[in-house]
A = this chain, B = another copy of it.
């Protein structure tokens, strides 16, 4: 008898009919002899509506009240799903985050889970009852108020719960069939990946694959938890080929050179022109941005040969462009030497990344990427790399062309 954590998000619990469908899936696992803890998101549109209410009252609202408001969506789904299970003769009950309790820090609206007290849930599971836990939420250890984990936080709820319960597997049901070699809307020949290692999934999540929240992959990796991403709209229970399973690197026998390609349109490019080329200048620029909680990603600095001036280019999330420019302008005020400095920004960029654990042991992977793009006449604006990832920033209009060319070049195209 194994213990499963099953998570149903987004369109999986869109409406009553979808919730009934989810109840069928859970029933099948329970009747197959498994213990099940379930984590759910809000019904379609509910969270957005609640956020809109908050915005309507004030764009600058109290995050503690925001949390109390938006957490209700998951509370409703958990109750309804418990009812739907009971109707099928399955013993079930719902749990709000504070009831479990799922303890978080007090960073309202983007809290981190610190601890999950599983005593109550374990007792319930051992009595063959399904625990239906409201995702996305917890309770702050400091003020005893409801917290939420940020967008996509239900994934994190599920993986953290599975780790705390020492579950045999965590199944993340979603509206896609699994993790793909690239977004099939961009690359029609993209294929479903059957096995992917945590490190690769982490890189993919952080550069735009929206299947799993980054934080949830981190937790799974730390706990060496077997996580499966699969579709809630296909009757594949019991099948061997279900979705995509996340495993440790050593569990993948034959490592692909490149496992996946991602396209992210979430970033904008900022360029600082005529920056005096003096020691510590980068620290002085990025310090205030870090303080303002602006996440700077790719950075490139053109070394000046003769003018003693340099150009600095970097990317920030599109929604932070305004704040970034404000911080930079304030910095410019601090010194006479900076009076010539100019700021430029562009939204018309896309970040293309190739990710693969095989890159560690193979040279020339990045070089091949640059060559493929050069052959298509695509100019690379910024480059950044990690041990298992190469990202390039290119003009937005080249997104599909670049992704498809790279997908073919690394032999990822499906045969169909």
Contacts and interface: CB of A to CB of B under 8 A. Distances in A.
Given A53-B80, A80-B53, A87 B58 contact: yes
Given A56-B16, A68-B94, A75-B69, A83 B99 contact: no
Nearest to A49: B76
A69 B58 contact: no
A382 B93 CA distance: 46
A236 interface: no
A144 B86 contact: no
B99 A86 contact: no
A84 B69 CA distance: 13
Given A65-B82, A65-B93, 13 more contacts: A16-B57, A53-B80, A57-B84, A58-B83, A62-B83, A64-B93, A65-B80, A65-B83, A69-B75, A69-B76, A72-B76, A96-B146, A99-B144
A19 interface: yes
User: Interface size class for chain A?
Assistant: 35 or more
B83 A54 contact: yes
Which interface residue of A66, A68, A79, A93 has the most chain B CB atoms within 10 A?
A79
28 contacts: A16-B53, A16-B57, A19-B57, A50-B76, A53-B76, A54-B80, A54-B83, A57-B83, A58-B83, A58-B84, A58-B86, A61-B86, A62-B82, A62-B83, A62-B86, A64-B93, A65-B79, A65-B80, A65-B86, A66-B79, A68-B79, A68-B96, A69-B75, A69-B76, A69-B79, A72-B76, A96-B146, A99-B145
A68 B75 contact: yes
Q: Which 6 A-B pairs have the closest CB atoms?
A: A72-B72, A69-B79, A65-B79, A68-B79, A57-B83, A61-B83
Nearest to A139: B99
A187 B75 CA distance: 44
A38 to B, nearest CB: 14
A98 interface: yes
Nearest to A69: B79
A79 B58 CA distance: 12
A80 B61 CA distance: 9
Given A19-B57, A20-B57, A99-B144, A78 B87 contact: no
Interface of A: 16, 19-20, 50, 53-54, 56-58, 61-62, 64-66, 68-69, 72, 75-76, 78-80, 82-84, 86-87, 93-94, 96, 98-99, 144-146
A31 to B, nearest CB: 19
A64 B84 CA distance: 13
A219 B50 CA distance: 34
Contacts of A16: 53, 56-57
Contacts of A20: 57
Contacts of A145: 99
Contacts of A76: 50, 53, 69, 72
A405 B293 CA distance: 73
A47 to B, nearest CB: 12
Contacts of A84: 57-58
Contacts of A72: 72, 75-76
Contacts of A62: 82-83, 86, 93
A187 B68 CA distance: 44
Nearest to A56: B16
A94 B144 CA distance: 12
A99 B99 CA distance: 12
A16 B83 CA distance: 31
Nearest to A68: B79
A94 B80 contact: no
Given A16-B53, A16-B56, A69 B61 contact: no
